[in-house]
Chain A
Amino acid sequence: MARSRLTPSARVALLFVAMLFAATIPLAAQDADTTQADDDTTTVDDAERDSADLVRRAAASVISSYSVPDMPAAAFLGTTPATIARPATARDFLIGLASGVDEHGQARQGFALEASPSALVPGLGVSLEQYREPGITPRYLLANLLLSLGAARAAGDTAPTVLAYGLRLTLVDRGDPMRDPVFLEALGDSIARCRPRAPIPGIPRADASTQMNALLRDLLAEHHDRAVRCMDSHTRKLARRYARAHWNATSVSVAYAGGEQLRRGSFARRRHAGDRVWATGAIRVGTIAQTLLYADWTHDRGDAAPAVFDALSYGARFNVGSESVNGFVELLGQTRSGPPAGVPGRATAWSLGLELRAAESLWLSAGLGERFRRTAAPDVVAVLASVRWGISLRSWLSPAE
């Protein structure tokens, strides 16, 4: 990464000036956590501010990582499945689907399944060569298409089961290591180092039909575990290094999830529960910066007409990362139709943070807003002029981590 040419003292001075300037901006645009209340008197303005904070915090919680969910169906349900079936064949896929339905033909709670059409449908397999063909090819899109299904029931005996379905698609990823020949060579080399020295002992000769006995099965399992542990150790390091070096790569991903409410779990008594669409984009800016964009549209049918709403959460973030300076500026917002009385239909929140390496293992940081408070946890913190100041022994804002 590029090294800043500023001297440590100049960096500190710059930090102070920037933070004091930011502190002069009206706090209404920021999150509430750095605001120091002068008294306990609640006014109409305070109530409005609290309601707006609710919306801002909702946006901040929706936009936690600037990435589309790994499993859109689970994100729609708001659950984290304990186990996810990932069928490797069309037969396994059908068995997996069947496992989502109980003996009475009703959707089973906690069911979660994720499948890749390119892995399941014969003839749609994508080899590494096809995957690496330049540009956005149909094979590349197919390989990056994931379908998901899930079912969950809200608390309460009479709550309906919701069956959710989703898809996730990566359109562009310039930081995809599997398209980088240098990475692939290193990866091939790494996993090849884990090959066993010799076959397992005790394999019977082939004069007659050889059978797998318990001892041989155990030896194979032991060999397998050793090889995979070795591969995990090598490839994790490799992938981490690659991700650090390509942290600001350009990428675009989209995802969709929809759901059906099944009364008493029955497919015959279903009604559409809603839809949710995610879109994220990352744009590389030079060698040390990146712009992130996020949009998340939710259409909730609710249980009755008054509960129907649409919400659009959006975010934009600019990250800077280098050996001596890290920082971000972020704007989050949410627009919601039919909000409850007293809650605004639209609210935005911004946050910023900056940290400088003053010396080896000594970072000075300053920032405003909820996101900064959540991200950075320095060893020493002080709130001064509505700005959170911190000193720590490690970097908290490095976007490459």
Chain B
Amino acid sequence: MIPRVGPIDPAAPLRIEVVCESGHAVAYAFWHRPPGTDEWKKFAEGRTGDGQSDRHQATLETQSHAQIYYWVAVSNPARPHGVYHARLILTQRDAPVSHGSIDLRGTTDAAGNDSVEQWLDLV
């Protein structure tokens, strides 16, 4: 089942935070698809070491029935087969969006890497 996040208030920007709580380096990219269209447009990308703190943030003007596609990668070559825990946190007006906290958990491979990609339906 694809996560359905919302209700979304179209009058306020949607903020997405990427937080890693397991000491991994992170890279991410977000795409947005407005309702009734087929085209995805990248609206944010970032990585560890790009000047942001551990809490990477992106902001988007959106509405109900839009979709967000995310790709989040984690890496810790010093700890192969390590357990990771990252989170996507969606907020509007500094308040959490309903069902907008998405846990990304798993175990990295022998080189200490993993990635997750998926989409969210905004309602």
Contact = CB atoms under 8 A, between A and B. Distances in A.
A199 B39 CA distance: 10
A232 B75 CA distance: 9
Interface string A177-211: 11001001111111110111011100101110111
Contact of A235 (B49, B77, B84): B77
Contact of B4 (A116, A131, A209, A231): A209
- Chain B CB count within 10 A is highest, among A116, A181, A203, A236, for A203
Given A212-B1, A239-B77, A192 B47 contact: yes
Contacts of B43: none
Contacts of A116: 82-83
B58 interface: no
Interface stretch (A8-16, A29-37, A50-58, A83-91): A83-91
A228 B78 contact: no
Contact of B75 (A129, A131, A187, A207): A187
Interface in B1-58: 1-2, 4, 19-29, 31, 33, 35-36, 38, 40, 45-50, 53-54
B102 interface: no
A390 interface: no
Contact of B23 (A127, A199, A239): A127
B23 A143 contact: yes
Given A119-B22, A211-B1, A228-B109, A192 B82 contact: no
A224 interface: yes
Interface residues of A, number: 56
B65 A206 contact: yes
A120 B84 CA distance: 10
Nearest to B81: A86
B113 A198 contact: no
Contacts of A185: 48-49
A191 B73 CA distance: 7
Contacts of A231: 73, 75, 111, 113, 115
A128 B24 contact: yes
A106 interface: no
A88 B113 contact: no
B47 A188 contact: yes
B122 interface: yes
Interface residues of B, number: 61
B71 A195 contact: yes
Contacts of B33: 203, 205-206
B14 to A, nearest CB: 14
A187 B77 contact: yes
Interface in A248-302: none
B78 A199 contact: no
B67 A205 contact: yes
A69 interface: no
A205 B69 CA distance: 12
Contacts of B84: 88, 119
A341 to B, nearest CB: 45
A126 B82 contact: no
A223 B117 contact: yes
A192 B111 CA distance: 16
A176 interface: yes
Nearest to B27: A192
B105 interface: yes
Contact of B21 (A84, A125, A211): A125
Contacts of A207: 35-36, 65
Contact of A191 (B66, B67, B75, B81): B75
Contacts of A236: 77, 111
B85 A119 contact: yes
Contacts of A322: none
Nearest to A195: B29
A196 B76 CA distance: 20
B78 A177 contact: yes
Contacts of B54: 127-129
B25 A187 contact: yes
15 contacts: A125-B22, A127-B20, A129-B53, A176-B78, A188-B25, A191-B73, A196-B29, A199-B69, A203-B33, A205-B38, A207-B36, A209-B1, A212-B2, A232-B111, A238-B77
Interface of B: 1-2, 4, 19-29, 31, 33, 35-36, 38, 40, 45-50, 53-54, 65-67, 69, 71, 73, 75-79, 81-85, 105-107, 109-119, 121-123
A-B pairs, top 9 by smallest CB distance, nearest first, are A125-B21, A185-B49, A188-B48, A188-B47, A239-B77, A188-B49, A192-B27, A206-B121, A119-B83
